[in-house]
């Protein structure tokens, strides 16, 4: 094992300036996080509490084992969207420990438009279910929702990944023996009624919990019957008459105790201890912001990052002297073995081939993969095309796609174009994916996109016999640059659920350790690679 020793001094001017610039990025993330944690705000929260209900984050706290971490997914979803009406997309999702077992918790936030489902709410719940399935985590649905957000029904109801997929996932996970548990703590209307109805076991809270396909207003309109919500579908009805729910709870806390009791029954083993001793890096991860140049055009020193992420700052390099723009190696994080790929320049044929080989080796040894993205793309140019760089890039993408060991992606700098895909971007199934606050992702950089589009425009105008002066070209390019800048940020990506979280560099080891621990306890899958173009 090579020990990565840092050559950076924390008193260097650059280090100090970088760390100071990072504080601004952290403050931006903190502001968005603060808004997400406030949910629907004071007025709906007060109305919620007045109904003898706990707020969703309090429900989660009461559900989880004391002093255990909650790995929240998609906290920043919805930021800047839907006119700001849906913080966290009205749903809190994350992995927490219940009665000693890691579980996926999905809690509607009824203070956000009655807990109704926006398009991103669906996407977030489907994503949480996918994570639960991959890691074989019991699912706990804390239901308090008015169902579909009706004005946006066409983006919620009919399509493959829309509302129906949530119910299908419940059925499929149940069939795989992954426990599905619902606690109905508020409304559960129309399609939403299928969440508790389809779960393996359901708890319902007296007075507040209701389950029905059509609410009192709809019933009156359809049949003329006048009925109140509890008589139509409250806790008494469903635990005594209909059998739609199994357990009657007196209040939220009682419901959460019943859920804990259900999870605590004998079942699959809980988390396993790490196979290796977890040792901290030799260099403090808190120093990472000082190593990220405030000017994104300057490179990030990959070895300096690894020296602060790997256990003992140790990495056994794979082909250290070959394809050096991508560093590959095995080491551990939090005592869990991991194969790391980190960019140290653009991707060339050699680096892509090396990556494909390295992924094969890790797959053979059941070692999870961690992709640390800082990539502007594959090398372009005549000699590289003639040398078959597309073919070598395809080998890497092929290996990334079909490797069945757990994969994790962390965007630490830029992640652009085909490079983002080859480094296991979202479409390639990383179990968890996050970005550092400084990170960016888009099909190409803003300057490159502006230049490409300006050249296309110039050719069009030339065909029409018109000029495109340098001034006109500049006026044309600026809004494209601005748009790319705004839409490539980590916050932008997180608000749309392109990634699961924005993770601070200093918290990265803890975040990855949780992911690796879950993966270590999950069922293994065999890898079968496809045809590699040679």
Helix (H) or strand (E) holding 95: strand 91-98
Task: Tell me which residue has its CB nearest to ligand COA.
Answer: 146
The single residue among 75, 169, 189, 441 that binds ligand COA, judged by CB under 6 A, is 189
Please give the Cα distance from 524 to 522 (Å, whole number): 6
Nearer to ligand COA, 154 or 482 (CB): 154
421 neighbors 373 (Cβ within 8 angstroms): no
Nearer to ligand COA, 119 or 413 (CB): 119
Please give the Cα distance from 395 to 391 (Å, whole number): 6
The minimum distance between CB 191 and ligand COA, in angstroms, equals 5
The answer for 352, left when phi > 0, alpha when psi is -120 to 50, beta otherwise, is alpha
Instruction: Identify which of 4, 26, 3, 5 has the alpha carbon closest to the alpha carbon of residue 290.
Output: 26
Two tokens at 398?
């092929």
Per CB under 6 A, 149 contacts ligand COA: yes
The footprint of ligand COA on this chain (CB under 6 A) covers a number of residues equal to: 15
| DSSP secondary structure of 494-516 | HHTTSSSEE--GGGHHHHHHHHH
First to last CA, the chain: 31
Question: CB-based contacts of 75: which residues, under 8 Å, 6+ apart?
Answer: 33, 36, 88, 92, 94, 494, 501
Where does this chain touch ligand COA (CB under 6 A) — which range of 89-97, 148-156, 420-428, 494-502? 148-156
Nearer to ligand COA, 112 or 340 (CB): 112
The minimum distance between CB 49 and ligand COA, in angstroms, equals 12
The single residue among 113, 238, 395, 440 that binds ligand COA, judged by CB under 6 A, is 113
What Rg, from alpha-carbon coordinates, does the chain have? 25
Q: In the Cβ-directed half-sphere of 93, how many Cα atoms lie within 13 Å?
A: 27
- Residue entry with tokens 């996970």: 173
Nearer to ligand COA, 148 or 292 (CB): 148
Question: CA 112 from chain center: how many Å?
Answer: 21
Per CB under 6 A, 190 contacts ligand COA: yes
The minimum distance between CB 500 and ligand COA, in angstroms, equals 27
Question: CB-based contacts of 516: which residues, under 8 Å, 6+ apart?
Answer: 333, 334, 336, 338, 368, 406, 408
The minimum distance between CB 51 and ligand COA, in angstroms, equals 8
The minimum distance between CB 152 and ligand COA, in angstroms, equals 8
The minimum distance between CB 44 and ligand COA, in angstroms, equals 7
Where does this chain touch ligand COA (CB under 6 A) — which range of 188-196, 445-453, 461-469, 492-500? 188-196
Nearer to ligand COA, 118 or 484 (CB): 118
One symbol per residue from 207 to 246: x for binding ligand COA (CB under 6 A), - otherwise; what is it? --------x-------------------------------
The single residue among 87, 96, 114, 414 that binds ligand COA, judged by CB under 6 A, is 114
Please give the Cα distance from 448 to 232 (Å, whole number): 60
Per CB under 6 A, 187 contacts ligand COA: yes
The minimum distance between CB 74 and ligand COA, in angstroms, equals 21
Nearer to ligand COA, 225 or 526 (CB): 225
Where does this chain touch ligand COA (CB under 6 A) — which range of 113-121, 360-368, 396-404, 443-451? 113-121
The single residue among 191, 233, 234, 334 that binds ligand COA, judged by CB under 6 A, is 191
The edge-to-edge listing of strands for the beta sheet with 70-73 is 70-73, 91-98, 101-108, 139-145, 180-188, 201-205, 247-249
One symbol per residue from 151 to 170: x for binding ligand COA (CB under 6 A), - otherwise; what is it? x-------------------
∠124-129-130 over CA atoms, to 5°?
95
3-state secondary structure 260-284: HHHHHCCCCCCCCCCCCCCCCCCCC
The minimum distance between CB 229 and ligand COA, in angstroms, equals 8
Please give the Cα distance from 268 to 270 (Å, whole number): 6
Per CB under 6 A, 148 contacts ligand COA: yes
The single residue among 75, 93, 108, 116 that binds ligand COA, judged by CB under 6 A, is 116
Nearer to ligand COA, 146 or 413 (CB): 146
Tell me which residues touch ligand COA (CB under 6 A).
Answer: 110, 113-114, 116, 146-151, 187, 189-191, 215
């Amino acid at each position: 094992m090579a020990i990565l020793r840092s050559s950076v001094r924390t008193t260097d001017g650059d280090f100090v300036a970088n760390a100071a610039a990072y504080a601004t990025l952290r403050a931006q993330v903190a502001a968005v996080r603060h808004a997400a944690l406030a949910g629907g705000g004071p007025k709906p929260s007060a109305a919620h509490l007045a109904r003898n209900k706990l707020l969703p984050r309090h429900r989660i706290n009461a559900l989880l084992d004391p002093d255990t971490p909650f790995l929240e997914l998609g906290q920043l979803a919805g930021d800047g969207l839907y006119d700001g009406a849906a913080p966290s997309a009205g749903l809190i999702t994350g992995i927490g420990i219940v009665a000693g077992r890691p579980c996926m918790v999905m809690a509607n936030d009824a203070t956000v438009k009655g807990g109704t489902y926006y398009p991103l709410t669906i996407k977030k719940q489907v994503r949480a279910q996918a994570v639960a399935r991959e890691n074989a985590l019991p699912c706990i649905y804390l239901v308090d929702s008015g169902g579909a957000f009706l004005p946006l029904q066409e983006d919620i109801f009919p399509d493959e990944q829309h509302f129906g997929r949530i119910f299908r996932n419940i059925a499929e996970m149940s069939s795989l023996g992954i426990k599905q548990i619902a606690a109905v703590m508020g409304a559960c209307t129309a399609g939403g009624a299928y969440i508790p109805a389809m779960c393996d076991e359901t708890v319902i809270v007296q007075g507040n919990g209701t389950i029905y396909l059509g609410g009192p207003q709809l019933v009156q309109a359809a049949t003329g019957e006048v009925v109140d919500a509890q008589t139509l579908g409250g806790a008494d009805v469903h635990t005594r008459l209909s059998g739609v729910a199994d357990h009657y709870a007196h209040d939220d806390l009682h419901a959460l105790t019943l859920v804990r009791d259900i999870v605590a029954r004998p079942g699959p083993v809980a988390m396993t201890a790490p196979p290796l001793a977890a040792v901290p890096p030799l260099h403090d991860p808190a120093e990472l912001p000082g190593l990220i140049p405030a000017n994104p055009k300057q490179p990030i020193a990959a070895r300096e990052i690894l020296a602060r992420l790997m256990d003992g700052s140790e990495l056994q390099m794979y082909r250290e002297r070959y394809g050096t723009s991508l560093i590959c190696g095995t080491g551990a994080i939090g005592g869990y073995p991991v194969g790391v790929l980190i960019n140290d320049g653009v991707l060339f044929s050699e680096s892509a081939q090396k990556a494909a080989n390295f992924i094969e080796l890790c797959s053979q040894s059941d070692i999870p993969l961690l992709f640390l993205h800082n990539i502007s793309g594959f090398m372009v140019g005549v000699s590289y095309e003639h040398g078959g760089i597309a073919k070598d890039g395809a080998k890497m993408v092929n290996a990334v796609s079909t490797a069945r060991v757990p994969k994790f992606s962390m965007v630490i700098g830029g992640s652009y174009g085909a490079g983002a895909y080859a480094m296991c971007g979202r479409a390639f199934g990383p179990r968890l994916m996050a970005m550092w606050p400084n990170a960016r992702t888009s099909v190409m950089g803003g300057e490159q996109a502006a230049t490409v589009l300006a050249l296309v425009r110039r050719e069009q105008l030339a065909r029409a016999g018109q000029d495109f002066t340098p001034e006109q070209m500049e006026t044309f390019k600026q809004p494209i640059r601005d748009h790319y800048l705004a839409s490539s940020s980590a916050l932008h990506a997180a608000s749309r659920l392109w990634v699961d979280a924005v993770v601070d560099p200093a918290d990265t080891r803890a975040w990855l350790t949780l992911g690796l621990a879950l993966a270590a306890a999950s069922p293994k899958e065999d890898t079968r690679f496809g045809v590699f173009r040679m």
